[in-house]
Amino acid sequence: MRRDTNTTCAAALTRRMRVFVEDVSTTYLFVGTVELDMMSADGIAAVQSTPLISSNGRLWGVLSTHFRKAQVESEFDHAPLDRLALQMAAPLAWPVQQKAMAEIRHKDKPSDPGD
């Protein structure tokens, strides 16, 4: 996903926070854009995008949900998607965290005088 597109994904990546569009036909993000034409052709009326951010703060991507009917954000329960986003980001961060820990252990290890 490129950050320079008119999408909720790009906005969520840039802002590092959820973006919820209740009605794609009326939001500044899409009015007059090719993206609105594509969503309308696909029957998308609303969309939310939640960034996948691991516990170490690394941004891994975005999870988006598209709706066939306009939504009211205050009536939408974000908790399940927030939990899913955390669960998805955690294993992505694991190899990075393991590598960092290995590097720390290697630096802390006393050097062999024979080296």
In order along its 115 residues, the chain shows pLDDT tens digits of: 666 778 899 999 999 999 999 999 999 999 899 999 999 999 999 999 999 888 888 888 899 999 999 999 999 898 988 888 888 877 766 655 556 556 666 676 666 666 5
State pTM to two decimals. Answer: 0.72
| Angle CA 93–99–105, to nearest 5 | 135
Burial grade of 27 (CB within 10 A; 0-12, 13-18, 19 or more): middle
- Is residue 29 a contact partner of residue 6, using CB atoms and an 8 Å limit? yes
